[in-house]
Amino acid sequence: MSILHTIILAIVEGLTEFLPISSTGHMALVSAFMGIEKSDFTKLFIENIQFGTILSVLVLYWRKFFDFSKLQLYVKLLIAFIPAAVLGVLFKKHIDAMIGTPLFIACTMFFGGIILIFVDNWFKNPTIDSEEKVTNKNALFIGLFQVLAVVLPGLSRSASTIIGGMQQKLTRKAAAEFSFFLAVPTLAGAFAKSLWDAYKETPEILTKHNISILAIGNVIGFLVAIVAIKGFIAFLTKNGFKFFGYYRVIVGAIILGLIIFGADLSAFAK
């Protein structure tokens, strides 16, 4: 991977990680255009530049996230985190091996977009407008929705958890913010696991050059994600999900078209 590849992919990750449009699908599309080949390091890179996006949430929401007088928030996040964490540890490699293909990702992008086009009409009259009003039961159901993103690559963790929040009567803004908070333990766990796996299985890829590439990617992803989160909250609160739904349908169709015409999208398949 070149420095240019690093910068472009980090920008894509920062823009798409917290939007309901699937960072995985976009990585597959962008990597195809740039001709990046699949390798142990590219896989590590994609999993580890999420660390920068985690930091963006902590910086933007530090008053809420580090308010230790409200320990119940951490309990709710733990409850929501456990289902996907357990499934990820036990089965994620097997799930990715079976269905984490570019074709499957394109299909989940496309059909996930159709869901987003109509989702605003399904969940009306929300009653929960802040994380303080989220109950442990609400948190558990949101966590179960997050499981969908584990078993369906390309669905989007952000989309599944925000929809889960809306199904539990959260407003769009409250659901999005709880999704951001839940991303911290979820992505931090994925980050730590990927580093540990690399250290155990392919320690030779942890060279000074590759570590520098990871650092650059994280810094860029952090800066871009801050802008993306601010813009997403404002747009979602005012306009809902329909735009993102149409966008996903278009991108999913593009990826399907590339596959039909023989493009190699394997670099960022799971």
Mean pLDDT, range 127-146, rounded to an integer: 92
The SS3 of residue 170 is strand
pTM comes to: 0.86
CB within 8 Å of 196: residues ≥ 6 apart:
none
Q: How confident is the model at residue 76 (pLDDT cuts 50, 70, 90)?
A: very high
Task: Give the pLDDT score at 267.
Answer: 52
The total number of structural domains in the chain stands at: 1
| Residues 209-249: tens digit of each pLDDT | 888 888 999 999 999 999 999 889 888 888 889 999 999 99
| Residues 90-114: tens digit of each pLDDT | 666 655 665 557 788 888 889 999 9
**Given a cut of 60, is residue 268 above it in pLDDT?**
no
For the chain, percent of residues with pLDDT exceeding 90: 31
Inter-residue contact 154 to 105 (CB < 8 Å): yes
Mean pLDDT, range 114-131, rounded to an integer: 89
Instruction: Determine the structural domain holding residue 215 and report its residue range.
Output: 3-268
Burial of 199 (0-12, 13-18, 19+ CB in 10 A): exposed
| Residues 142-167: tens digit of each pLDDT | 999 988 887 787 788 889 999 999 99
Task: Give the pLDDT score at 243.
Answer: 92
How far, in Å, are 85, 103, 224, 265 from residue 100 at the CA level?
18, 8, 27, 12
The mean of the pLDDT values for the chain is 84
Q: How confident is the model at residue 195 (pLDDT cuts 50, 70, 90)?
A: confident
* C-alpha closest to that of 184 among 77, 261, 79, 269: 77
Task: Give the pLDDT score at 233.
Answer: 86
Q: How confident is the model at residue 265 (pLDDT cuts 50, 70, 90)?
A: low
Inter-residue contact 27 to 12 (CB < 8 Å): yes
Between helix 172-201 and helix 72-99 the angle, nearest 10°, is 60
